[in-house]
Structure 1
Amino acid sequence: MHWPKLSLGLLLSAVAVTDARRSLQHVGKKDAKPKSTISGHDSFATHYLATRQLPPPRFANANTTKFAVNGTGIPDVDFDVGESYAGYLPITDNPDDTDELFFWFFPSSSPTNTTQKEILLWLNGGPGCSSFEGLLQENGPFIWQSGTLKPIPNPWAWNRLTNVVWVEQPIGTGFSRGKVTARGEEDVASQFLGFWKNFIDTFSLQGYKVYIAGESYAGAYCPYIASAMLDKNDTTYYNVSGLIVYDPVLGDDVVQESATTVPFVDYHHNLFTFNNSFNAHIHELHESCGFADYNAKYLVYPPSGPQPKGYTQSVSRECRNLWEVILEEALSINPCFDVYQVATTCPLLYDVLGFPGTINYLPEGAEIYFDREDVKKAIHADLNTKWAECADGDVFVGGDRSDPSSWKVLPHVIDATKNVIIGHGSLDMILLPNGTLLTIQNTTWGGQLGFQSPPVEPFFVPFHTLSTADEIESETDQTKLGSIAAAGVLGTAHTERGLTYVSVDLSGHMVPQYAPSAAFRHLEFLLGRVDSLSSVQPFTIEPNYPQPPADSLGNGTGPGTFSSGTEAAEQGVGSVSASAEVKGSDAGRIGVGFSAVFLTLGAIAMVAMTEL
């Protein structure tokens, strides 16, 4: 098979989503191939469910019986989700403790991975947003995306690779119950470790490797919890072996938002169609607030030195509010603008969790899925608890008083595990890619400050069919086999001293939701199934599917890859020209890419908008 600079691979992926797009007949053209009339749910679910093999229950015993969930009894889910357990466990060793966290545990569904003694913990952010958003719309065994009819099996479910538990924490989040007493991340970590010890004992997971993952405000939760586990020096319960956080809260608020918003707007200028006067106003603020100089001085490789402490407090209110000013104007132009995925336009799609993005939206007569009584009964949740995706009340007493995780605890986890991944979606404005890169460049681990070299390596997602290659009779059949998800070079991945940064093209804030195949590859890397995010090794769930040669990938599509449209075109990865106000070097620093825009807009996984 010939792979000329990935062009054939991109073509195959484009063909694979033929049935997902509108017919060319609407514009007076004929489709190259007949359009299938099989419904997406039937074609995918029928094949996937017929070919998967669920292993027999492995954790059923006297201690776990009360937590067991009937895999065929989950409301609106018309297939067997397999073995799982849900319920409450206290945050101390006192079995009568009324402060309890709620969990849903799914053992590995792959017969080939059942012998791996490892478990992954997933946390969503907020603070106070439920991890069941991740379970239902990101990386759980069944997904119910915005605008879709009902739940479907998730071929990119993380429990296809390992044992996974989704936990609602801290106290006050989701179904978890008790008195909110946490005053900072140290308290949250302490309470979580109490819960975790009870969880390990309940399911006899002593000695298992522990991987921790999450997104957004979990950029605070996860490193603090992982660091506290490492401090215990007890591998029976807290054998921390790796960490991944997506679009994370890591450092200074202004650095992660306002200081990098104008370059973000310039890079995505076709999505921010501001008039000339407003555009000039925000650029003047970017200069007068010192943000342009800050980026020029500190977003360099290797770092020029430590960034100033307390930067947010040194910036005027007008400068701190630049992000909000831009958001307000964006909403004026696009009433359905979504900071979690800035390419979103109207109409808003109904989301069964009631939170499809920047604007809350629940149609009349609709219900929040996890607040339904039948769902609560199915997973042993308290019927009197009113579930919401994000808590109405505070989950910290007086706010979170802890230092940013990038100061101490994140470096501790990197140095201890040599296995930490920070991922970021290129279309996320709630937390911006350059803000994450600036924070990395102000973090010391492995005895050095920041990355010494700019991220330029390709992040490659294997081509796939969700079946073995010999079951594919034609390109058209590929459209019948599964969830729409991208493949090819989809960003940039860079590793130094145990820390990996990976940008994901055309993903919003929730990477496993917008780019599920990309997140699946991240997990394979975290678990040691592949040795690099630039590897062309097939997915471990499809080991026989052909991939292009490594020397055909070129560079990644992230920071430093293109400084102008001309250079990008010469590299054969597609180009985007920045607006006149942006210098070529600034465009190259944004840390996001538009490689293969024509492909990924069609091939990116089903879009839904949820919480921070």
Structure 2
Amino acid sequence: MRFNTIYLTAVSLCCGGAFAGQVPIIEGVLGGVPSTPPLTFKHASTSATTPGKLRLVENSGICETTPGVFQASGYGDLTSTESIWFWFFAARKNPDTAPLALWFNGGPGSSSMIGLFQEHGPCRITNDSTSVTLNPFSWNNKANVLYIDQPVGVGFSHGDLKVGTSQQAASDIWTFMQMFLSDSRFSKYQANNLAIWTESYGGHYGPTFASFFLSQNAAIDAGTVSGLKLNLKVLGVGDGLTDPLTQYPGYISYAASNPYHALVSTSAISKANTSWSSSTGCKSQITSCNNGGSNSVCSKAQSFCNNNILSPLAGNFDVYYVPTRNPDPYPPDLTNYLASIASKIGAEATWEETNENVYSNFAATGKNSRPDLETVINAGVRTIVYDGDADYILNFNGVEAMVNALDTQFTTLFKQQQFQTYTVAGQTAGQFKNAGLFSYVRIFGAGHEVPAYKFGTLAYGQAAAQIHTRSYVASVPSLLAHPTRSGPSSLSPASSPGLLLTSRRNSNTFKTSSLIAFWHFNTTVSQTAWTTSFPFDPAHPAGYRSLDLLLHEETLRIASNQGASFDTLRRLTAAVIDCQRSISHTRDLLASAERQLRYLHDQADRVRDLQDCLATLSRRIDNLAFTTSLSPAILSGLHARLDDILSSPLFSRSSTPDSLPDLEPSD
């Protein structure tokens, strides 16, 4: 057995909303392996199966309400006791020639209805979980999309729970696709380009399924297998677990330094580092498991790593979206809504977000899926890996480590590339690298379910929709919009101050090496890591920009414009640090304001002019935090110190502006 790492906590139930998607505690171990056997059958309200055929409801009128767009939902009966649930939506434009995209959520054991209703389907669940609204950035704008609950027992699927590995699941999906494409209602898609899209534990599913499809196609060509070849052209994996040994250290680095805030104390980081690297630590135990270790060896490794690294490093923040405290009720729960429509769409089983019995079956096995991913890339399948930078449970540090460890025909070229700006509708939305047929994208402001989030003035899911749409174009370099500039390979707060910031009054980058070094030293030693590297934006899910970062930037701007000395900058820094100590007491208040603000952002989708109102509200929240959480004495002291510095000869009236820069950020 190989180490499953994050069926553990990270991926075990990571694909759902915050409440229902919380990681299970099994026999006292977060994401542990149960000692008692799981259930072996999931019952349904009917047993009228038709092995080898589809049973479905056409055009139910649920979710997709675009006129003339075909949809169908129902079951593909693998056997008389194994039924796979699916929901198909034809492309809104040119469905006969559009690609056929398969979507799988992760878990293992999580339903793909999560992706449909919370992420990128034709409709989105409302915040009160009672209804849905049409999604203008649905992935069926470009492709025919087939959402599949797998393996048997997941979501609305039902029957014998036999599957416990990704390879077994791949075989069932191959069988289902043979059935689906042989059906007269869908046979016209047999020659269309096929794409596999997945997330989370889909970092295992996607590469394994794709590799299996390719091997089956080769067997058909060789005459050893009969069936329909699947015209696989694209593989997309979002926030995925692929190679646990490579990805696990990402928890430590992300908890210490990410674009939002440190998740835990430096002492907790130090303890986790020891737990990882000691002779009997997590790394050693994973390695022993991967080198042919028994189930007990792997279970011990799983429990040790979760108890000592993954779980404690999350702190009190939501593991799926770290700008908020745990638990975060977004994305909204689907359970009651799906129960209300089940009879209309032909569903026969009680829906559950994640089936713990399926999870338990997988928890006894494991696999490093990086070799499968390498096989798929080398076979010429266009491959896109993307990750939301606000996700802890499968964070970009771990995913980028996995990407950098890939050994493919594009590896050398990929490592030579610099990150470029990912632009959507003229707005910076992340960073990306392209090399041959492989692309990696880091999406700003997105949590674990990337399409469920928005950034800046973009709409929910708009940044992810562009990745999906452009994956089907003729050349990969056009996949991620036109690059506008090169960027650093990391956006960690410790590396950004002094390197990327420019003056508000001119475009001269602050380059004095000694001052840059001082800022690096101060940021590291005093542990005042600035909590975001993004421009202020009232529509950002985090909802506010930290005052410490504002003051930090203003200090740099003053120094850059006026040619401040090292000593002057140090005095300014001391003033900022003093303010930082008071700001730390406002975190809970700001987190609460953040959640309230994001709720208001959701309403902007329904009210035409609410965006301007929200921008005003955001500034008022900043001002409220500034005035209510920081004592007048602290504010007066800060301004007094700045006045002292500005009155020095270095800042004589002849060389300084009449007033300090406005500390309130502009839009």
Indicate whether the TM-score tops 0.5.
yes
SS at 1:532 equivalent: helix
Q: Answer yes or no: is 1:431 the counterpart of 2:394.
A: yes
Give the Cα separation in 2 of the matches to 1:65 and 1:186. 26
Give the aligned residue type for 1:181: K
Give the aligned residue type for 2:271: L
2:274 maps to which residue? 288
Distance 1:252 1:352, change over 3 A: closer
Query: 1:316-345 deviations in whole A, cap 9, x for unaligned?
Result: 9766534345356x22xxxxx310001124
- Could you tell me whether the CA contact under 8 Å between 1:86 and 1:105 is conserved in 2? yes
Moved more, 420-429 or 511-520: 511-520
- Could you tell me whether the CA contact under 8 Å between 2:154 and 2:358 is conserved in 1? no
Give the aligned residue type for 1:166: Y
Quote the offset at 1:496 in angstroms: 2.0
Give the Cα separation in 1 of the matches to 2:485 and 2:268. 35
1:88 maps to which residue? 75
Give the aligned residue type for 1:353: D
Q: Answer yes or no: is 1:453 the counterpart of 2:421.
A: no
Give the Cα separation in 1 of the matches to 2:324 and 2:492. 26
Alignment gaps of 5+ in structure 1: 1-62, 293-306, 332-336, 355-366, 464-487, 538-549
Quote the offset at 1:564 in angstroms: 3.2
SS at 1:506 equivalent: coil
Q: Answer yes or no: is 1:208 the counterpart of 2:199.
A: no
* Equivalences for residues 474-493 of structure 1 within 5 A: 488-493=427-432
Query: 1:495-518 deviations in whole A, cap 9, x for unaligned?
Result: 224221110011001111114111
What fraction of aligned residue pairs are identical, expressed as a percent? 24
2:609 maps to which residue? none
SS at 1:213 equivalent: strand
Quote the offset at 1:444 in angstroms: 1.3
Quote the offset at 1:395 in angstroms: 5.0
Give the Cα separation in 2 of the matches to 1:82 and 1:462. 26
Give the aligned residue type for 2:438: L
| Equivalent of residue 486 in structure 2, options 532, 555, 569 | 555
1:248 maps to which residue? 240
Q: Answer yes or no: is 1:596 the counterpart of 2:535.
A: yes
Give the aligned residue type for 2:403: I
1:412 maps to which residue? 375
Answer 1 or 2: which has greater helix percent: 2
Give the Cα separation in 1 of the matches to 2:425 and 2:176. 37
1:264 maps to which residue? 254
| Equivalent of residue 381 in structure 1, options 342, 347, 352 | 347
Give the Cα separation in 2 of the matches to 1:350 and 1:507. 12
1:474 maps to which residue? none
Q: Answer yes or no: is 1:511 the counterpart of 2:511.
A: no
1:481 maps to which residue? none
Give the Cα separation in 2 of the matches to 1:129 and 1:290. 29
2:60 maps to which residue? 70
- Could you tell me whether the CA contact under 8 Å between 2:54 and 2:75 is conserved in 1? no
Give the Cα separation in 1 of the matches to 2:437 and 2:132. 37
Alignment RMSD (CA, Å) = 4.0
Query: 1:245-285 deviations in whole A, cap 9, x for unaligned?
Result: 100010125x424x2223213324864475xxxx2322322
Distance 1:316 1:422, change over 3 A: closer
2:324 maps to which residue? 344
Give the Cα separation in 1 of the matches to 2:288 and 2:125. 44
SS at 1:371 equivalent: helix
Give the Cα separation in 1 of the matches to 2:302 and 2:361. 27
1:357 maps to which residue? none
Give the Cα separation in 1 of the matches to 2:336 and 2:57. 23
| Equivalent of residue 565 in structure 1, options 473, 486, 497 | 497
Q: Answer yes or no: is 1:527 the counterpart of 2:472.
A: yes
Give the Cα separation in 2 of the matches to 1:394 and 1:65. 24
Q: RCO higher in 1 or 2 (8 Å CA, sep ≥ 6)?
A: 1
Give the Cα separation in 2 of the matches to 1:496 and 1:124. 27
Distance 1:396 1:185, change over 3 A: farther
Distance 1:351 1:425, change over 3 A: closer
Quote the offset at 1:452 in angstroms: 2.1
Quote the offset at 1:394 in angstroms: 2.4
Moved more, 313-322 or 554-563: 313-322
Distance 1:458 1:309, change over 3 A: farther
Quote the offset at 1:596 in angstroms: 2.8
Give the aligned residue type for 2:205: Y
Distance 1:419 1:317, change over 3 A: same
Give the aligned residue type for 1:230: L
1:370 maps to which residue? 338
- Could you tell me whether the CA contact under 8 Å between 1:422 and 1:502 is conserved in 2? yes
Quote the offset at 1:137 in angstroms: 1.0
- Could you tell me whether the CA contact under 8 Å between 1:370 and 1:376 is conserved in 2? yes
- Could you tell me whether the CA contact under 8 Å between 2:268 and 2:313 is conserved in 1? no
Q: Answer yes or no: is 1:238 the counterpart of 2:204.
A: no
Distance 1:316 1:602, change over 3 A: closer
Count of residue pairs the alignment pairs up: 452
CA radius of gyration, larger in:
2
Distance 1:440 1:401, change over 3 A: same
Quote the offset at 1:66 in angstroms: 4.5
| Equivalent of residue 109 in structure 1, options 86, 92, 95 | 92
- Could you tell me whether the CA contact under 8 Å between 2:170 and 2:212 is conserved in 1? yes
Give the Cα separation in 2 of the matches to 1:598 and 1:252. 35
| Equivalent of residue 394 in structure 1, options 358, 361, 367 | 358
Distance 1:78 1:370, change over 3 A: same
SS at 1:159 equivalent: helix
- Could you tell me whether the CA contact under 8 Å between 2:107 and 2:359 is conserved in 1? no
